[in-house]
C-alpha cells in the first residue's frame, strides 16, 4: 500500500513555500505561525529531507524543497479542482421543479423565485406552467401551487393566499374614459375586459357578479368588450390601457404598488378557492422548498 504524507503538513508546506513566510502562511490558514512551522518540520521528518533553509525570518527552498513543492502544488490544485467540480455538480444537480397555474406564473411566482435565489444562488429552477391536476410523482414535481385543495387528496396542502378580484385599470385610462365619481355604470361596454377562465372553472367571478355585489343591475355585454383567456393577461391589458379588468389583487400587487394600475372600487369578490402549495412527502424536508413555501405563504 502506498504511503501518504500527513496532509495537514503538506498543506502547511505548500502555502509556506508559495507565500515565503510562516507568518503569511499562518494568516492564510487561520492558525499560528508556530503551528505552521511545526507542521513543516513534521513533513521534513516524515520525508527525511530538509525543505527550507531558515536564515532568521527568511525562508529559502532547498533543492529537495523545490521538488516537493512542484508535486504538492500540482496535487493540491488537482484536489481543489476535483472538489469544485463535485460541489458545483451537486449544486447544478439540485433542481427545484415548481408547477404553477398560468395566472400566477409571471407576476406573482417569478418575483418570489428571484428572492429565493438570494439564498440559493446556484439553485437550478424549472417552472412548469400547467393546469390542475398534475401528476407530481410522474413529472418529478417538487412543489405544486394549486387552485383549491381538492386535486391532491393524498397530500397536505399549505394555504398560500385567498385571492380576490376588484375593478382596476391604468390611471391615464380612467382619466380619459372615466368620471370623478368612479362610477362604472356609465363606462362604455366595449371598455370592459372579460376573463374567460376556461372550461375547467365555474367558480370564478364575472362582471355580472361584481355589479350584483356592488348593488347594480348593470351587466356589461361580454360580446361587446375585450376578452382574455388568462387572468394575468387581463391585468396586463389593463396596465397597457386597453380597458378595465376585474383583476386578481395578488397578481396585480406590484402594478398597484407602483401606480401602474389603480383600483376603481373597494367592492371585491373572493375567488371560489384559495391557492395552496403541495409538496411530495419525500421532499418535504428540503430547505429550499420549505423556504419558498414560507415566502409564498400568507402573501397578499
* Coil, strand or helix at 90: helix
Cis peptide bond upstream of 133, omega within 30: yes
Confidence of residue 87 (pLDDT cuts 50, 70, 90): low
Mean pLDDT of the chain: 87
Cell numbers found for residue 160 = 398560500
Q: pTM for the complete prediction?
A: 0.65
Give the whole-angstrom CA distance, residue 60 versus residue 164.
75
Q: Looking at residue 266, what is its pLDDT?
A: 96
Give the whole-angstrom CA distance, residue 229 versus residue 239.
16
Looking at the structure, tell me whether residues 70 and 125 fall in a common domain.
no
Among 171, 174, 175, 169, CA closest to 234: 169
Looking at the structure, tell me whether residues 177 and 244 fall in a common domain.
yes
Neighbours of 196 (CB within 10 A): 15
Cα radius of gyration rounded to whole Å, the chain? 32
Parent domain of 61: 7-92
Residue 280 in contact with residue 142, Cβ under 8 Å?
A: yes
Residue 33 lies in a domain: yes
Looking at the structure, tell me whether residues 142 and 200 fall in a common domain.
no
Strands 226-228 and 192-195: parallel
Say which CATH number the domain at 136 has: 3.40.190.10
Residue 126 in contact with residue 99, Cβ under 8 Å?
A: no
pLDDT tens-digit series, residues 3-24:
888 889 999 998 888 888 888 8
Terminus-to-terminus CA distance in the chain, angstroms? 65
Looking at the structure, tell me whether residues 85 and 98 fall in a common domain.
no
Domain count, the chain: 3
Among 178, 193, 196, 270, CA closest to 235: 193
Give the whole-angstrom CA distance, residue 144 versus residue 51.
61
Residue 93 in this model has a pLDDT that exceeds 60: no
pLDDT tens-digit series, residues 151-179:
888 788 999 999 999 999 999 999 999 99
Count Cα atoms within 13 angstroms, Cβ side, for 31. Answer: 16
Looking at the structure, tell me whether residues 151 and 280 fall in a common domain.
yes
Cell numbers found for residue 146 = 394549486
Q: Which of 49, 69, 92 is the last residue of a domain?
A: 92
pLDDT tens-digit series, residues 31-79:
998 999 999 999 999 999 999 988 877 888 999 988 888 888 778 877 7
Four-residue CA torsion sign, 144, 147, 148, 151: negative
Residue 1 lies in a domain: no
Confidence of residue 91 (pLDDT cuts 50, 70, 90): very low
Which DSSP state fits 143? E
Residue 2 in this model has a pLDDT that exceeds 70: no
Neighbours of 293 (CB within 10 A): 17
Q: Looking at residue 283, what is its pLDDT?
A: 86
Residue 269 in contact with residue 213, Cβ under 8 Å?
A: yes
Among 244, 221, 231, CA closest to 195: 231
Q: Looking at residue 99, what is its pLDDT?
A: 95
Residue 2 lies in a domain: no
Q: No. of H helices and E strands in the chain?
A: 11, 13
pLDDT tens-digit series, residues 98-151:
999 988 988 899 888 888 998 888 889 999 999 888 888 888 899 999 999 888
Looking at the structure, tell me whether residues 214 and 289 fall in a common domain.
no
Residue 111 lies in a domain: yes
Amino acid at each position: 500500500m502506498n504511503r501518504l504524507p500527513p496532509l495537514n503538513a503538506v498543506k502547511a508546506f505548500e502555502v509556506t513555500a508559495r507565500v515565503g513566510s510562516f507568518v503569511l502562511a499562518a494568516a492564510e490558514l487561520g492558525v499560528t505561525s508556530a503551528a505552521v512551522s511545526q507542521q513543516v518540520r513534521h513533513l521534513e521528518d516524515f520525508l527525511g529531507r530538509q525543505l527550507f533553509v531558515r536564515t532568521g525570518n527568511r525562508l529559502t527552498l532547498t533543492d529537495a524543497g523545490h521538488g516537493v513543492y512542484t508535486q504538492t502544488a500540482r496535487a493540491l490544485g488537482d484536489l481543489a479542482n476535483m472538489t469544485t467540480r463535485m460541489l458545483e455538480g451537486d449544486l447544478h444537480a439540485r433542481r427545484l421543479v415548481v408547477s404553477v397555474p398560468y395566472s400566477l406564473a409571471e407576476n406573482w411566482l417569478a418575483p418570489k423565485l428571484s428572492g429565493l435565489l438570494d439564498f440559493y444562488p446556484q439553485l437550478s429552477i424549472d417552472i412548469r406552467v400547467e393546469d390542475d391536476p398534475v401528476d407530481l410523482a410522474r413529472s418529478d414535481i417538487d412543489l405544486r401551487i394549486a387552485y383549491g385543495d381538492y386535486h391532491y387528496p393524498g397530500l397536505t396542502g399549505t394555504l398560500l393566499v385567498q385571492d380576490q378580484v376588484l375593478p382596476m385599470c391604468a390611471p391615464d385610462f380612467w382619466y380619459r374614459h372615466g368620471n370623478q365619481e368612479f362610477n362604472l355604470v356609465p363606462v362604455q361596454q366595449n371598455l370592459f375586459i372579460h376573463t374567460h377562465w376556461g372550461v375547467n372553472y365555474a367558480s370564478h367571478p364575472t362582471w355580472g357578479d361584481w355589479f350584483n355585489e356592488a348593488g347594480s343591475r348593470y351587466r356589461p355585454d361580454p360580446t361587446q368588450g375585450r376578452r382574455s383567456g388568462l387572468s394575468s393577461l387581463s391585468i396586463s391589458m389593463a396596465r397597457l390601457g386597453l380597458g378595465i379588468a376585474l383583476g386578481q389583487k395578488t397578481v396585480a400587487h406590484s402594478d398597484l404598488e407602483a401606480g401602474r394600475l389603480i383600483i376603481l372600487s373597494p367592492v371585491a369578490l373572493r375567488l371560489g378557492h384559495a391557492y395552496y402549495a403541495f409538496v411530495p412527502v419525500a421532499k418535504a424536508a428540503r430547505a429550499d422548498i420549505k423556504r419558498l413555501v414560507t415566502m409564498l405563504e400568507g402573501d397578499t
